[in-house]
Amino acid sequence: MASTIVLIWGMNFVVMKFGLREFTPFQLAAARFALASLPLMLFIAKPALPWKLVALYGLLQGVGQFGFLFTALKVGMTASLASVLMQTQVFFTALIGWHLLGERISKPQWIGMGLAACGLLCFTMHFVALDAINTVTEVENVIKNGTEAASALPKAVPVTLLGLCLVLGAAASWASANVAARQANQANPNYNPLSFVVWTSAVPVLPLMAMSALFDAPEAHANWAKTSWIGWSSAIYLALCATVWAYAMWTQLLKRHPANRVSPFGLAVPAVGLTAGMLLLGETISAWQWGGVACVAAALGVTVFGGRWLK
């Protein structure tokens, strides 16, 4: 299950980028969860769980995790780095699980959170260095070309500070959804994970459609009629593979094991995401960003294997 999830979610970020070329973030999220829930709800019974847990998980995952993530990918975040930063959900899960469920945080997890903080510092330094480079470049352009000519030069910044903050918000929402899944298991250990994923996927559809109506530009509402087969194929992959199939398996793992033991198995997702982003989208990563990736990878490694190393 873990290996299949890693492959599906690693490719997930590239598919999101293709989908966002034709949909707005709220539209793509709404399409994802509508396709994942509405057809299957006709054949799959509601999970034997309180409605409040179904609604809570659906809002945390649909509106929180993917509302933040899709917006980040649109306003300034590469698929490669998003695949890495989303794995900070491991540490958010440990903290929230400790606070709400009383799950113990081990010494390797504390060390891992420290390394993850160093990684976030590296990502912050990337923006400091980028701002300094842009300032120097702008001064040089003003000297050489004049103010008007310099201001007309294109400025391509693939990753923004807003994008970074939104991805971290998405990771925190994912962690909260993990803990909600554990609470569902406490309420009824025998609930059906597939039923849980399908019915919780229906929860965010209307809120996401409302957010699209409120915040998307008026001309964007025509996207539904003019989207190509690539856009709809992206939405179908995200709905059936990344949501129904992968999250049903993920929820099954959370039923069997503590949340802070399951979440580190996302360790291999960034490797697939980084490779796919660079090969299929031509994305590049700066030296500071590579430093952040290394710190996050080290943090995840210590979290997963540190129990053996520190004995």
Q: Do 238 and 19 meet the contact criterion of CB atoms below 8 Å apart?
A: yes
Q: For 237-293, what is each residue's pLDDT tens digit? A: 999 998 888 888 887 887 777 766 676 666 667 777 777 887 887 877 778 778 877
Tokens 């009629």 correspond to what residue?
225
Average pLDDT, stretch 66-89?
A: 86
Q: How confident is the model at residue 153 (pLDDT cuts 50, 70, 90)?
A: very low
> What share of the chain in percent tops pLDDT 70?
83
Where does 68-133 show beta strands of DSSP type E? none
> Closest Cα to residue 65, out of 171, 206, 211?
171
| CA torsion angle 129 134 135 136 (round to 10) | 90
> Could you read off the pLDDT of 165-189 as tens digits, one per residue?
999 999 999 999 988 888 888 888 8
**Residues 184 and 49 sit within 8 Å (Cβ to Cβ):** yes
What is d(CA 3, CA 44) in angstroms, rounded to the nearest whole number? 26
- Short-list 73, 80, 285, 57, CA closest to 180: 57
pLDDT band at 307 (very low <50, low <70, confident <90, very high): low
Average pLDDT, the chain: 81
Q: How far apart are CA 294 and CA 277, in angstroms?
A: 17
Per-residue pLDDT band for 128 (boundaries 50, 70, 90) equals low
- pLDDT score of 142: 43
Residues 6 or more apart whose Cβ sits within 8 Å of residue 288: 122, 123, 125, 126, 129
Is the pLDDT higher at 212 or at 284? Answer: 212
Choice between 250 and 45, residue whose per-residue pLDDT is larger = 45
Higher pLDDT, 124 or 219: 219
Residues 6+ apart with CB under 8 A from 57: 177, 180, 181, 184, 196, 200, 203
Whether 77 shows a pLDDT value over 90: the answer reads no
Question: Helix or strand or coil: residue 102?
Answer: coil
Per the listing, tokens 């993920």 go with 250
**Average pLDDT, integer, range 107-125:** 78
C-alpha–C-alpha distance, residues 223 and 240, integer Å: 21
Reference 9, options 89, 63, 76, 64; nearest CA is 89
* pLDDT attached to residue 260: 62
- Candidates 221, 239, 205, 215; CA nearest to 30 is 205
Angle at which helices 25-37 and 67-75 pack, to 10 degrees? 140
What global pTM score does this model have?
0.76
Task: Please compute the mean of the pLDDT values over residues 145-166 and round it to a whole number.
Answer: 62
296 has a pLDDT exceeding 70: yes
